[in-house]
Chains A and B, each alone.
Chain A
């Protein structure tokens, strides 16, 4: 079918020149509208936001690497005090919730808003469990008297995970809004830009955790 690869330029250049992003990956003579996929899905604005957010996290991760390179022993020592089981559980929760969000999109593409709502609620339940597990972890550390000033490792651990935690909360707000709007009948098989935008954001939150988890909890 001659699918064209989506390159980084496809994502960034339109953002930079600001034209509305409507890249068909299928040849233009393809007429069956249900076959046509737009990349990236959702609204251009959310992608600019996602790229900016990834940049912030990227700089945070680079700073972590830089600080670690200068304090390898300190980082290795205190990394062992983290609860890797909880973090692994949280990783599974976020990946599962991302899968549920994908199912929600597939449901709305099949014009089944009831299923879409159910999948969104399931994704939110996973997100909520993430928040609970992470809160217990935070409570444990704070209870042990650990603060941002304890040492550089904990400073990064607390800052990075808390900053990500705030994004999970924002993601939950977005998923809630989507579920409410779906219930109100705002989306259909032909018009579901909003859900795709929200889903893209949620995947970003997931993606960041997939880097954060090995970087902060596991890699030695």
Chain B
């Protein structure tokens, strides 16, 4: 660790991982509720579990992005963070707001939560992924602004690199597009139209800039390849992400009451969305192949490479599967969407946050460059357990989705939704099994922070 203020990243990473565990526990509960509908009812109904599962994901990724920025920006700018104290204050505010919100979901009925948080004054609740009470949303904006101020001031006073400028662009976009969560028009078409400006333009727009910047940073650090080469790739990747991703929003506008041209625009542009992800895969493998030095932290390199492959498969290939309007006409809102959502989020965003945690955490915990060999072996085991089980989760959900599309929408004699759900239950059971393996992988991941932490640091020869 070159700058002492990078240390503020550590609590962000710790909370990030803790919330990740919470997300997966609720995922396992949800998976079981697909086949045993009243499991844990009425304590944790399906809709609440789903809300907690998705909201925790977003919040822990945000913690991860913030931690990553606090770690990366001082090194990139070659200066201490503008205000480590502000970063810590915001950490506690964000944590308190996040925990209070999740407890609110779990302890009181959602309608009561809306009442007691004054949703009536500025109604923003009740929409998928944006379920947070309005006061939580205001809290998120405050935290995001303070965070941007802190990062922006640091970059202003220090060295400007392509990595930190792309990161800053992504983070600014993240904050700006979140503001659309306050826009809640009464017309349902308008409501859905702008809702995607948060949901889509985050994950298929500005978050890709953050992903690109973090990946570039980890690769610069672990491969020693010329910054100039890595930055050039970053330019091309982000340009393609934006060209395809922004108008690609149209693939959500096929059937919500928007004009017909969105079916063409959405299909054409989003069909190109795999390109930047494919470039990212080529980029990551090339940089590692052209590396000028070995890095003792093999686990971090594994996460970075894995991220580029899984993001391409999950976001690129599985997204393309159902992005063309004539296909989406049948697949819209089926388990195909769930399959894509799982692998895309895991591949693109979970893995990049784990990559940067893997790279930074050893230094934050006082190591010179890497964990002990034993810790790294465990971490790499967790990589394979989680990644392979996620592949299976995706495949089982895809199987469920294909059957669902056929039985419910395509066959000559379409069956009702619930009848189909019973017929595809076997796939849900298998998905639950894969989910349990994922949980085991996560436990192995946690153990890698404790087992071997007293052992000597891995060297190039032993790693």
Contact = CB atoms under 8 A, between A and B. Distances in A.
Interface of A: 16-18, 43, 45, 48-49, 52-53, 55-56, 59-60, 63, 67, 148-149, 155-156, 159
Contacts of B268: 56, 59-60, 63
A60 B243 CA distance: 14
A124 B268 CA distance: 30
Task: Label chain B's interface by main secondary structure.
Answer: helix
Given A48-B279, A56-B272, A43 B232 contact: yes
Which of B240, B268, B272, B286 has the largest count of A CB atoms less than 10 A from its CB?
B268
A149 B236 contact: no
B196 interface: no
B460 to A, nearest CB: 25
B197 interface: no
A149 B239 CA distance: 28
Contact of A155 (B264, B267, B282): B264
A52 B260 contact: no
Contacts, number: 50
B134 to A, nearest CB: 35
Contact of A149 (B260, B267, B279): B260
Interface in B220-235: 232-233, 235
Contacts of B264: 63, 67, 155-156, 159
A16 B282 CA distance: 7
Interface residues of B, number: 25
B265 interface: yes
B259 A148 contact: yes
A140 B269 CA distance: 27
B267 to A, nearest CB: 8
Contacts of A155: 260-261, 264
A43 B271 CA distance: 26
Nearest to B260: A149
B271 A52 contact: no
Interface in B234-284: 235-236, 239-240, 243-244, 259-261, 264-265, 267-269, 271-272, 275, 279, 282-283
A56 B272 CA distance: 7
A208 to B, nearest CB: 14
B240 to A, nearest CB: 5
B261 A49 contact: no
A18 B240 contact: no
Contacts of A16: 282
B25 to A, nearest CB: 41
Contacts of A17: 286
Contact of B232 (A45, A53, A148): A45
A52 B272 contact: yes
